[in-house]
Structure 1
Amino acid sequence: MVQKDFIHDDFLLQSEFAKKLYHNYAKDLPIIDYHNHLSPQKIADNYQFQNISEVWLHGDHYKWRAMRTMGISEEFITGSASDKAKFQKWGQTVPFTMRNPLYHWTHLELKRYFGINELLDQNNATEIYNNCSEQLSKSSHSTRGLLKQMKVEVVCTTDDPIDSLIFHDKNKANEDVKLLPAFRPDKAYAANNSDTYNQYLDALEEVTNIQIRSFADLKNALENRITYFHEHGCRLADHGLDYLPYYKEEDMNIDQIFNNVRKGEHLNNLENDQLKSTLLVFLSKQYHKKGWVQQFHLGALRNNNTRMLDLLGPDTGFDSIGDFPQATSLSNFLNHLDSSNELGKTIIYNLNPADNEVMAAMIGNFNDGSIKGKVQFGSGWWFLDQKDGMEKQLNSLSNIGLLSCFVGMLTDSRSFLSFPRHEYFRRVLCNLFGNDVAKGELPADEKWLGKIVSDVCYNNAKAYFPF
């Protein structure tokens, strides 16, 4: 019997019905990647990577964490070692990642982008490095070429309010992929460090030509940038938060709080949350006016290792899952917006699997019949964007809400090689349906279940996002 390649046509598909669903209704659909951290400049410039390490290892804290766990020196992770040496260390690590999603992702990406079926290890790492790096020198493997290979239709990057968006403008002539900004105003309410916060507000003053001396000035400056972003094609906002705080504005003196931090005073935790709450309510109402979709990524416990934070900075692999209280403040926040009919389309992403049912139940409170799937429980995120995490999110949503209205997967990645994660999600989704059919828990109605699969993988997002 001929041994199948590890990544074969029916990878993760455990039933004949799952195979039909995937191959007939999911496999060939385009991709709308509505949240990622790709470089707009690299897309606009159609950048050509120098080698596989540059596109695969630079900035990928998933791989960095695994390499550190293996006892590999930082020199070969974020340090001064050559790209080839770093890749060799990654090749040495890969066989030990079995049962971690990195093992699946690594070999999916080697197969899809480079046609490599071999399992990466320390013995073939140099050969695979040379093979991939040679392919990356070709036009088919430029940034746009890589996106085109995966049938990526829309890319929504993550952009600070002070960003110029010049590269989004530059890319407008590119007919292969639509590149759109997404408004990420986290720094506008990150007042826990008054020095850093005031430096940011000074930069915001410069780009808006609005002096920010009061809270009203800050709102005017952000409204100015929302209008600017909208004129440049933005239709989404995103926020990374421990939890979504809510306080009634009449119960605080927001002007005094803002004046204090603008003077360089340190805010306590309550004042920080009150400033954040008030500004997020204001921003959400602005998004509603523009018809944008707002996204809230909740539950990350960031920068746990202060020694490594001082050495390497943030987003280098030292974040984890937090166990913050979520339900009450989230409910109050959404209810406040809904009470004045200013709650727009909303996606809530959860990082703590213990809160999956909380989030799945919460969205149903604010789906009011005005828009299909108006409030969404977002896909498995960060530590949960793997097979088990995806299945738990899909099951929680199915049990409490309507999976059929779900807008599906995204990459949330800094890597141009991450788009097979959509394939991974589609295979997991089809396998869930296939297993239910095999157990007699769903009817073997290929046409109808195929429609639901196609909707979740592409059509719902196409209809939901106002691009």
Structure 2
Amino acid sequence: MEQPIAAHPDRLLPADPGVRAIARSLYSAVEGLPIISPHGHVDAAVIEQNLPFPDPAALLVTPDHYVTRLIHANGVPLNQLGLGGSTMDPRQVWRNFCQAWPAFEGTASGYWIRQEFEHVFGVHEEPTAENSDRIFDAVSARLAEPGFRPRELFKEFNIEVLATTDDPLDSLESHAALAADPAFASRVLPTFRPDQYLNIAHPAWNENVERLLAAAGGGASGYAGYIGALEARRRHFVDNGAVSADHGVRTPATLKLDDADAARLFERARAGDATPEDREAFEAHMMYQMARMSVEDGLVMTIHPGSYRNHHRPTFEEFGADTGHDIPFAVTYTEAIRPLLEDFGTAKDFHLVLFTLDETVFSRELAPLAGFYPSVFIGAPWWFLDAPDAMLRFRSSVTETAGFSRSSGFIDDTRAFCSIPARHDTSRRIESAFLARLVAEHRISEERAHELIVDIVDSSPRRVFKL
């Protein structure tokens, strides 16, 4: 019987036998290193409460917009995948997924899921319409095992650090409980994510500002109170172990306004009178303010721009956000980020990690920026670029200008807890493949490549995210 491709020891390594041998040696040096995940979206309560995972469809299909979007593109309505409060039988959702499985050939999602089936769930056959019930039952049986709870998987996956993404007003009770639990040896760190408090175009912005000001305890009102409340919530996150603040903005624009101008924009927004230009200016100013706060409180600042959120309005209205129709668009960084870097680009201990969904930005803008500013680090391939070939393109694009030391280390950015080991393993294999080519071309020594692979996998994320 042919070996399952997800189990092949040389998956993702170079096809050339000589280069592959070098890559194998490099990969073996990092295969067993602990996972450092400084940015992701797993809910800390899942780890703290340690409850069983739900059925296979609710775990692997319905919440994963990487999966649902492609099945939808091939003609399956989203309500047949469990979205929008659908009462669809989970087993039927799973059948729809298995029937659509051929659509995932060649995709990153297909690669992750194959790895999960093989290495996490012990499923060694390809999904089909005919075997969907059998695989559903096999995965369900695995989910029911006592050893398949989140905390037990934390140990099995060898996760040392996992960062979550959290609302500024979150109490962080689950994080505090995990930190205080002597039986839990790993670290689960909160991340400050203030998007819906900064973007005045957000439908709930005014309500969120009211809640933010109320949480500040009745101090100053207006713009000054708003800024003070954000600073206070950041301190709450720092006190509970946070190391970074994340910003999912539309563009990387930054703008320095004086307090009077910023206050006027704030009051127009509170009154419902802000123009589209006001909205763009205020968000750009608040990105500048977030950088100022990071310089003061030490939180690493990460920026994730370039996604047109909720591109299909009818789908958003029926099924809500994060349902597969966020589409990348081109961004530019050089001018947009300059106001921020003018004042903070060389500030002591300020770390700014810049991500993109526009591959042209890697070599044209991000690598040159990181190659000068001590504060700037290049974020790993993210979202649509979180795929084997895109990872190789990224490494080729940035290294000749910025070297290896100016990148963030791998960022899995995932809600899918069971995919974390597959994603990190993929990155380690791709980095090994890239370095092996440089060794084979006599561009670096094999000894130096062994040092670099450990730095890329382990030291970089610790260094960049102050771990």
Regarding TM over 0.5, the answer is: yes
Query: Percentage identity across aligned positions?
Result: 24
Match of 1:464 in 2: 464
Counterpart code for 1:235: V
Which residue of 2 is the match for residue 300 of structure 1?
307
Instruction: Give the CA deviation at 1:280.
Output: 2.1
User: Once the 2 structures are TM-superposed, how far is the Cα of residue 226 of structure 1 from its aligned partner?
Assistant: 1.0
How far 1:343 moved relative to its partner?
Answer: 7.0
Residues of 2 paired with 1:92 and 1:349: CA distance? 35
Which of 124, 131, 155 is 1:124 aligned to? 131
Matches of 2:238 and 2:126, distance apart in 1: 45
Aligned counterpart, 2:2: 3
Aligned equivalent of 2:75: 71
Q: Which residue of 1 aligns with 2:354?
A: 348
1:366/1:108 Cα in 2 relative to 1: closer, same or farther (>3 Å)? same
- In structure 1, give the amino acid aligned to 2:79: E
1:198 and 2:199 are equivalent in the alignment: no
1:249-281 deviation digits (Å, cap 9, x = unpaired): 14972111111111232x223211221222222
Contact 1:284 1:343 in 2 (8 A): no
Given the alignment of the two structures, is residue 20 of structure 1 paired with residue 19 of structure 2, yes or no? Answer: no
Of 282, 287, 304, the match for 1:280: 287
CA drift of 1:150 comes to 1.4
Check whether the contact 1:349–1:381 (CA below 8 A) recurs between aligned residues: yes
Give yes or no for the alignment of 1:187 onto 2:187: no
Q: Aligned runs of 1:350-369 on 2, under 5 Å?
A: 350-357=356-363, 358-367=365-374
CA distance in 1, matches of 2:43, 2:214: 23
Q: CA deviation at 1:404?
A: 4.1
Q: Which amino acid aligns with 2:449?
A: L
Give me the whole-angstrom Cα distance separating, in 1, the residues matched to 2:256 and 2:288.
10
Distance 1:177 1:144 in 2: 9
Q: Aligned partners of 2:408, 2:263: CA distance in 1, in Å?
A: 39
Contact persistence 1:242–1:322 (CA under 8 A): no
Residue type at the aligned position of 1:455: D
Aligned to 1:245: 253
AA matched with 1:293: V
2:40 to 36, 41, 47: 36
Once residues 390 and 251 of structure 2 are traced to their aligned partners in structure 1, the CA distance between those partners, rounded to angstroms, is: 20
Pairing 1:58–2:58 present: no
CA distance in 2 between counterparts of 1:328 and 1:17 reads: 41
Partners of 1:434 and 1:461 in 2: how far apart?
Answer: 22
Match of 2:168 in 1: 161
Q: Which amino acid aligns with 1:10?
A: D
Q: 2:62, 2:68 within 8 Å by CA — same for their partners in 1?
A: no
Report what 2:17 is aligned to. none
Would you say the 8 A contact 2:370–2:406 is kept in 1? Answer: no
What's the counterpart of residue 103 of structure 1? 110
Unmatched 5+ stretches in structure 1: 368-373
Offset of residue 205 of structure 1: 2.1
Residue 396 of structure 1 and its aligned partner are, at CA, apart by 1.4
The normalised TM-score by structure 1 is 0.93
Structure-to-structure mapping, 1:70-89, within 5 angstroms:
70-77=74-81, 78=83, 79-89=86-96
- For normalisation by structure 2, the TM-score amounts to 0.93
Q: CA deviation at 1:303?
A: 1.1
Kept in 2, the 8 Å contact 1:213–1:262? The answer is: no
Does residue 330 of structure 2 align to residue 323 of structure 1? yes
- Of 348-357 and 143-152, the range deviating more from structure 2: 143-152
Number of aligned positions between the proteins: 454
Unpaired stretches in structure 2, ≥5 consecutive residues = 15-19
| CA–CA separation in structure 2 for the residues paired with 1:233 and 1:136 | 31
1:288–1:343 contact (8 Å) kept in structure 2: yes
Structure 1 residue 405, shift from structure 2 partner: 4.6
Q: CA deviation at 1:49?
A: 1.1
Q: Is the 8 A contact 2:298 2:349 kept in 1?
A: no
Name the counterpart of 1:384: 385
* Aligned Cα root-mean-square deviation (Å): 1.9
2 CA distance for matches of 1:427 and 1:250?
Answer: 48
Q: Which residue of 2 aligns with 1:45?
A: 49
Q: CA deviation at 1:305?
A: 0.4
Q: Name the CA distance, whole Å, in 2 between partners of 1:395 and 1:412.
A: 22
Q: How far, CA to CA, are the matches of 1:199 and 1:250 in structure 2?
A: 25
Q: CA–CA distance in 1 between the matches of 2:213 and 2:78?
A: 38
1:333 CA displacement: 2.0
Question: CA contact under 8 A between 2:300 and 2:353: conserved in structure 1?
Answer: yes
Which residue of the partner structure matches residue 220 of structure 1? 228
Structure 2 distance, partners of 1:450, 1:125, is: 43
